[in-house]
Structure 1
C-alpha cells in the first residue's frame, strides 16, 4: 500500500466496554461525508494545552483559511475560469480551458508551519474543484464522451496532484496527520472525478504524497524543502508567540533571523516566518505569500523594525484583512485578534483592504492604491516612531509615579484609620490612583513625604514604613533601585502638579473611548497612568476625541487584547490641529459638558459609564458632538470612516516630521 506510511507495527490499545461502545457507534456513521479537514480540529482537541501554548499553535478554520487563499490565488483563479466559460467560440473556449488546467497543474504551494495540514488540504481541494469544473467544461465541448473511459484518464484529466504541496512542521504527530489528511482528500477528489468521468482511479497503492518535512522551519534552509524556483505561493498560520511570552530558545531564533535589526528583541515569534519567506523570494521573486498573524505585528513598537526591514528588501503588501477576532471550530477557541497580510516582491496593480466595523463583524472589501505597515491606505514609507517629546502638543505628558517601595509607602484600607488618627500626619496622606482606581472609583491612600519635616519622618508609624522601604530597595538587584534607598521616604518619581489630566495606560478594547479624568494635588498618580500636568478642558477634549482614539488603536500596542496607551508612541506623535481661540473655546465647552454629564451619574464608575452596553445616551451624544467638532478642526469635509481619519492623520504626521506646513490638508477632498 505504502511502505513508508505502513512500515511501523502499530500497537492496538486495550479497550474497555465504554470505548468499545463508542467505536461501534462511530462505525455506524457515514464516514464518506466527513471532511478530511476536520482532522485539524480533532488534533488540536487532543493536543496537550501546555504544548499548544508553548508552540503558539492555533488550529485554523476554513473560514479563516479562505481569508488567506482567497485573495492570494483562489479568487483570481475562479474569476479567470468564469471568464473562460463565458467565451462563445467552442474551439477557443476548449483551448483556454486546457491552458487553464495546465496553469492549475503548475501551481506549487508551501506551508512552513503546516501543523495538521489544513491550509494544504483546503488549497488542494479548491484547486481540484476548479480543475474538475474545467475538465467538465472540456468534455462538454466534445461530443465523444467515450474518452471518459480511457485507462489513462488520471494523467489526461486529473493533473493537480498532492505532490505539488509542501509543508514544514516541528512536531512529528501533526506532520503525520497532515500526510494522512492529504491522502484522504486525494481519495475524496478521485471519487468526484470518477463520478464525472465514469471510472474511478484506485487510491491504493498510495503513490503520490504531500511533501511534509518534520523540521524546525526557522533553523532549516527552506530551499531544501520547498522547490524555490517552481514555488508559487507560501501560506499558513505560523505560531503566535508574543515577544514577552516566548522561550529563550525561541527568542534566540528571532535574534538570529533579524541580526541587523534594531529592537529585534521586541518582535513576536511569527515575524520570523515573514523574514524567511522574504529571503526565499530573493531566490524566486515570483513567489507570493500570505500569513495569518496576531495584529500586534501591525501595531505599536513592532511595526518599524519588522516592516522597515521587509520594505527595505523590496516587499510590498498586496492585500490585508484588518483586525478580526479569531474563531474556529476547535475546542479551546483561540481568543486572539488577528490580521491576514498578503505580500510579495512582485507588487500587484490592484490592492485590497478587508475592513471590519468591529473585530466580530464581517469584512467589507475596499480597493486601495497602497497599503502600509499599519494596514491602511497610506504610504509604505511612513512609520510612527517613538518620540521622547511631543511633535505637536503644547504640553508634555509624563508617566505617573512609580513607588518602588515594596508596598511600604502605601496605606492599605485596614491601616488607614490608624494613620489618619495622627493629626499632624494628615497633610502627608494623599489619595493614590492608578488605572483601576480611576475606572472603578476604588480608594487607596499613600504616604507622600516629599519635603516632609524631620518630625514627621520620626513618627513611629512612619519611621517603621521608611525603614522597611529602605530594606526592600537595598535588597534589589537593580542598581537604580538600590540608589533609591538613599531617600526611602519618597516614591521613585515625584510628580504632583496642582492639577492634571489622567490617562490610564491599559483600557478594555470594548470601549469606544478611553475614560480619562482630572485630579488635583491632593491625589498621587501611580505609574499605571499617564498625566498631562496642568492640562486644560481643551486638551482633554482633543484626547477624548474619536480622532485621537483611532490614532491610539492603530499606533499603540496591546496588553493581551486591551489597549495599551503609550506616551512616546501615541501622545508624542499625535498630530494636533491648529485652532483659533474661538475654536478652542468651543472644544472646551464640549469637554466640560462631558464632565458635567459624568457627574450627573453619582455612584456610577467610569468603567460602567463607558461600557458600550451601558453607556448613557446623553453621554454618548456629548461624545458625538465633541467628535464632530474636533474633526472640523482637521478638515472642512466630514470624514466617512476611521480609515479616512487615519489616512488624514498619517499625512499630517508625515508633514510634521518633515517640518512642512500641514495647513493645506484642511481643505483636502
Structure 2
C-alpha cells in the first residue's frame, strides 16, 4: 500500500499549494484526486464535470461539480466554507441525479471531505476526513479506487444503532423469558435506553449507567436498588444532596413518572455492562430515526436480532417530509427580504403543528422535527444577513427552538407510542446541540444553552394509543406517515369481520375492496384545514400506501376522493421498492388541500430491487392514478365490451389434489375407460412461461356438477380426490365454524360437494368450447406476452382468458397499444402487472372503423410474430420467459422488429398518428365510444370488425397443445 500512500501524500502536497478557489481550482483538484486514487484522470475514469441538475426549487438548471455514476457525486466549496450549510444542496442534487443515482455524496472545501451515504443515513455524514489525514484515512474513500473496494467509515450510525438495539432487545427478551411483566419490562428497558442516551449526550454524568451495572455485576450491588434510585432521581425536581446521584438533573414526569425497577440477573447485567454491552456503546452515535423500529422489531421474537430487522430509510421518509413540510418553508424563507417578513415566518413556525396518525416508533415525527429545526437555523441565518447586528441581537434575545410539543402521534401499539415519545424527547437535545454548533461556527451569538434540553418535554398529551380511524385527531397543519397496509381479505383475517363491518359503516363511501391504508388518506384529507394565503404551510399531507392506492377500488376510495374534493397532488412516487419490513412496492403521495402553482414532481423506481434506478419528471398535473398523461382512471366501461363477455379468469380448483401428472393419469386410465370425461390437460401460468408443460404436463380432474353417485363411476379418480382434498377441506370447515360459529360458511358449504373443484368457470368454458383455440396471458406479468391455447386445454386462474381465435384480435391484444392501456389501468403485485377484466378489458376501446386492408395487416403481423417466436424458441432452446427477457436488452433483434411491425399495423387500424400519445388517444376514443353508446348508436366492439366478413380468412391454426401419455381407450386428448 506504500504506492497508494505515496500518491495520496503527493496529492496532499499539491492541494496545500492551492488557494481553495471554488471556481478556479475545483476542477484541477478533482482531476488530481482521481489520479491519486489510481486513475489517469477524472475524464478517463468516466466522471463528468458541471453535471446538469434540474431542481424543483429553481427555475433554471444547477450544476453539480462532479458526477461519476453510479458511485460518486462530489460538490466543491471554497476553502474555509462551512459545509453544514451546503448539505441540503448536496442532498437535492443526489435526489435529482437520476437515472443511475450515485451511491456516495462528498462535500469538500479543499480542507475536509464530508462523506454521505444517503441510502444508509441522512442525519450525519458516514465519515469526515481532513485533507491532512487522507494518506492515513483513505479507506473512507475506497469507492474512488478503480477496483471499488468497500469503504471503511468511522461514523456509521446504522451499525452502531443495530449493535445498541440488539443488546437492548436481548435484555428485554431475557426479562420476558423469566416472566417479568411485559409492561414492566418495557418501561424498565425504555428508561434504561433514555439513561444511556443521556449519559453520552451530556445530560447525565458520564458512564453513570455503565458504572451502576458494572458495580452490580462485579461488586454484588443490587440492580433493583441502583437503577430504581437513578430513575427516581431523574424524576425528582429536587437535586440529591449527596451520593452517586447528586449530579443527576430532573428529566420529566412522563417517561420516569412510574418507576418499577427489575432485579437483573448476571447474564442480563452482562448485556448492559459486559465487554460488548449496551452501555459500552456510544449512544451519541445511535440514530433515533431508525433505533426505535430496529429495537421494536428485534424484541418481538426471542430469537430475532437487530441485524436482520428492517427499517424505513431516512431517504424514503424524506420523500414525504421534504415536499410536504420542508420545501414550502425554505421557499418562503428564500423569498423573504425584510426583517418583518422573516419574523412573521418565525412566528408561524413556532405554531406549526405536525401529525402522524400511524406514528409507530416516531420515525416520521423525529425527522420532521429535525428538519424543521434546520429550517429555523436557515431562517435565523437569513435574518442575520438581512438586518443590522443591533437589530439581530435585539430579535435574538428570547430565542427558543421549535418544540417537540408541536408534534402529535396516534398508534394502536402502546409500546410504539412510548418509543415515539422517547424519540422526540431526545430529539430536543440533539437539535439543540446541532443548532449551538452551527451558530457558533457562524459567530452568531444566540441565547441557546445545552442545559435547556432539560427537563425533557412531557409528551403524554401529544400522543394517543388509539385506533386512528375512530380517534379524534388533534388540530394540525400537516399530516404525514406510513399507515398500515392490508388488502380487504387479509383485513378480515387479521381484525375479524366485526371490525371490518364497523369500518365500512363509518366510511361507507370507501369501496369494500380498498386497501386498509386508504381510510387514512380519506380521513387525512377531511381533517386538514384548507391551504390559503393566511395559512400557506397548512393543508398539506404526505402518506405512504401500497401501490394499489393508484388502482381500482383503492384509488376510487382514496386519491379519487382527494382530487375531487379540492386536493392537488404535488409530488408523488408512482411505485418504489419499500425500504421497510413489508416486501411490497409502495406509492408515496404528497398533496395540498387547495390549488398548486408550478410544476409537479413525479418519480418511479424502474426495477424490483432497492437499488434499482429511478425515473423523474416535472409535469403539469399528477393524476389520481399517479400518472402524468391522460387520466385513464376516468375511462368508462363500454357496453359493447361487457355485453359480449369475452374475457375471463381461468379455473380455480381450490386444491392441488385435483391436479395429476402424466404418470398418475396413465395409472388412473387403466381402470377407467371413461376417464376422458373428467380429466383434461391443465395449464398454469408458470408452466406456460417456463415450457414445463411440454416435458411435465398436468391434468385436471373436473367432475363438473356430477353428484357423488355419478362421480363414483370414476372410482379411482374419486378415491384420489378423497385422499388428497377432503381432509384439508374438513379442516378448513372446522376452523371456520370455530371462528364464526356459523354452519353455512364458505368452507362448510364446500364440503357438500367436496369432489368438485372450487371455481369451474362455466361461463369461460362455454365461451371457448366452440373455438378451435383461444388466447391467454399470464394474469400477473412484467411483459406483454399473449399466446393461443388449444381448446382442449383447461386454463388455470393464473391465466386470463380471451375468447378469440382469429389473428386480428390476437394482434390487438399483443400490441403495445393494448399494453399501454393494460399498464395504466391494471392493478399490481409488487411490480408485476395484473390483468383484470373489470378495469382493463371492459374499458378498452377497439378500432372503430378499420379498413379491410388494415385488418389484414394486423392479422398477418400477428401470425408472423407467433411463427417467429416458435422458430427462435426451437432454434435456441428458449422458453417464453427467456425469449421475452431479451426484449429488455439493448441492441437489435428480429423479435423487436416483429413487435414493431405489429404495433404499427395496430396503430394504423386505429387511425393513430405517429405523434399521438397512445394513452391519450385511447382515453379520448373510450369517451367517444361511450357517448355514442349513450346515444343508442352502434359501435365496434371486440373481435373482428364488420368489414371482415370472412372470419376463416383471418384465422390460422397455431396454438399450444398438451399431449397426454398414450393410455389406450381411456386416453385424454
Q: 2:667 aligns with which of 399, 409, 418?
A: 418
Q: CA deviation at 1:237?
A: 0.5
Task: Give the conservation status (yes or no) of the 8 Å contact 2:530–2:594.
Answer: no
2-structure distance, mates of 1:190, 1:451 = 74
2-structure distance, mates of 1:58, 1:270 = 20
Task: Give the conservation status (yes or no) of the 8 Å contact 2:585–2:831.
Answer: yes
Q: CA deviation at 1:326?
A: 1.0
| Structure 2 match to 1:238 | 483
The structure-2 alpha-carbon separation of the partners of 1:287 and 1:146, relative to structure 1 and needing over 3 Å to count, comes to: closer
| Structure 2 match to 1:583 | 854
TM-score, normalisation: structure 2: 0.57
Q: Which has the higher contact order (CA 8 A, sep 6+)?
A: 1
CA deviations on 1:219-256 (whole Å, 9 max, x unpaired) are: 2111xxx1x2xx21011111112212124636655543
| Structure 2 match to 1:300 | 552
2-structure distance, mates of 1:98, 1:364 = 36
CA deviations on 1:257-297 (whole Å, 9 max, x unpaired) are: 44363673212111121222233137999522221110112
- Structure 1 residue 543 and structure 2 residue 794: aligned? no
| Structure 2 match to 1:340 | 588
CA deviations on 1:36-69 (whole Å, 9 max, x unpaired) are: 213244235415279x9xxxx9843211112112
2-structure distance, mates of 1:6, 1:458 = 74
- Structure 1 residue 354 and structure 2 residue 602: aligned? yes
Gap runs ≥5 in structure 2? 1-249, 533-537, 734-743, 941-973
2-structure distance, mates of 1:484, 1:26 = 60
2-structure distance, mates of 1:459, 1:137 = 85
Correspondence 1:76-87 to 2 at 5 A: 76-84=328-336, 87=337
Q: CA deviation at 1:350?
A: 3.5
1-structure distance, mates of 2:429, 2:253 = 18
Q: CA deviation at 1:308?
A: 5.1
Q: 2:315 aligns with which of 59, 63, 75?
A: 63
Q: CA deviation at 1:114?
A: 0.9
Correspondence 1:462-501 to 2 at 5 A: 462-465=714-717, 493=762, 494-495=765-766, 496-501=769-774
Task: Give the conservation status (yes or no) of the 8 Å contact 2:773–2:790.
Answer: yes
Task: Give the conservation status (yes or no) of the 8 Å contact 1:169–1:213.
Answer: yes
1-structure distance, mates of 2:279, 2:672 = 81
The structure-2 alpha-carbon separation of the partners of 1:447 and 1:487, relative to structure 1 and needing over 3 Å to count, comes to: closer
The structure-2 alpha-carbon separation of the partners of 1:13 and 1:653, relative to structure 1 and needing over 3 Å to count, comes to: farther
Q: CA deviation at 1:375?
A: 1.6
| Structure 2 match to 1:188 | 430
| Structure 1 match to 2:420 | 178
| Structure 2 match to 1:667 | none
Root-mean-square deviation (CA), in Å? 4.2
Correspondence 1:59-458 to 2 at 5 A: 59-84=311-336, 87=337, 92=338, 94-141=339-386, 144=389, 156-195=398-437, 196=439, 197-198=444-445, 199-206=448-455, 208-210=457-459, 211-222=462-473, 226=474, 228=475, 231-246=476-491, 247=493, 249=495, 252-253=498-499, 255-259=501-505, 261=508, 264-281=511-528, 287-307=539-559, 309-310=561-562, 313-328=565-580, 333-350=581-598, 352-356=600-604, 358-359=606-607, 360-369=612-621, 371-377=622-628, 383-384=634-635, 390=641, 396-402=646-652, 407=657, 410-419=659-668, 430-441=680-691, 442=693, 443-446=697-700
Q: CA deviation at 1:132?
A: 0.7
| Structure 2 match to 1:626 | 902
The structure-2 alpha-carbon separation of the partners of 1:74 and 1:631, relative to structure 1 and needing over 3 Å to count, comes to: farther
- Structure 1 residue 593 and structure 2 residue 869: aligned? no
Task: Give the conservation status (yes or no) of the 8 Å contact 2:528–2:593.
Answer: yes
Instruction: For residue 597 of structure 1, give the secondary structure of its aligned residue in structure 2.
Output: helix
Task: Give the conservation status (yes or no) of the 8 Å contact 2:296–2:416.
Answer: no
2-structure distance, mates of 1:480, 1:566 = 27
The structure-2 alpha-carbon separation of the partners of 1:192 and 1:422, relative to structure 1 and needing over 3 Å to count, comes to: closer
Task: Give the conservation status (yes or no) of the 8 Å contact 1:404–1:481.
Answer: no
Instruction: Name which one, 1 or 2, has greater alpha-carbon Rg.
Output: 2
Instruction: For residue 586 of structure 2, give the secondary structure of its aligned residue in structure 1.
Output: strand
CA deviations on 1:83-141 (whole Å, 9 max, x unpaired) are: 33xx5xxxx3x333222222322321111111111111111111111111221232344
Task: Give the conservation status (yes or no) of the 8 Å contact 2:361–2:417.
Answer: yes
TM-score, normalisation: structure 1: 0.80
Task: Give the conservation status (yes or no) of the 8 Å contact 2:377–2:435.
Answer: yes
| Structure 2 match to 1:666 | none
Q: How many aligned positions are there?
A: 624
Instruction: For residue 182 of structure 1, give the secondary structure of its aligned residue in structure 2.
Output: helix
Instruction: For residue 374 of structure 1, give the secondary structure of its aligned residue in structure 2.
Output: coil
2-structure distance, mates of 1:311, 1:335 = 28
Instruction: For residue 776 of structure 2, give the secondary structure of its aligned residue in structure 1.
Output: strand
2-structure distance, mates of 1:254, 1:415 = 44
Instruction: For residue 264 of structure 1, give the secondary structure of its aligned residue in structure 2.
Output: coil
The structure-2 alpha-carbon separation of the partners of 1:426 and 1:147, relative to structure 1 and needing over 3 Å to count, comes to: closer
Instruction: For residue 517 of structure 1, give the secondary structure of its aligned residue in structure 2.
Output: strand
2-structure distance, mates of 1:451, 1:238 = 45
| Structure 2 match to 1:48 | 300
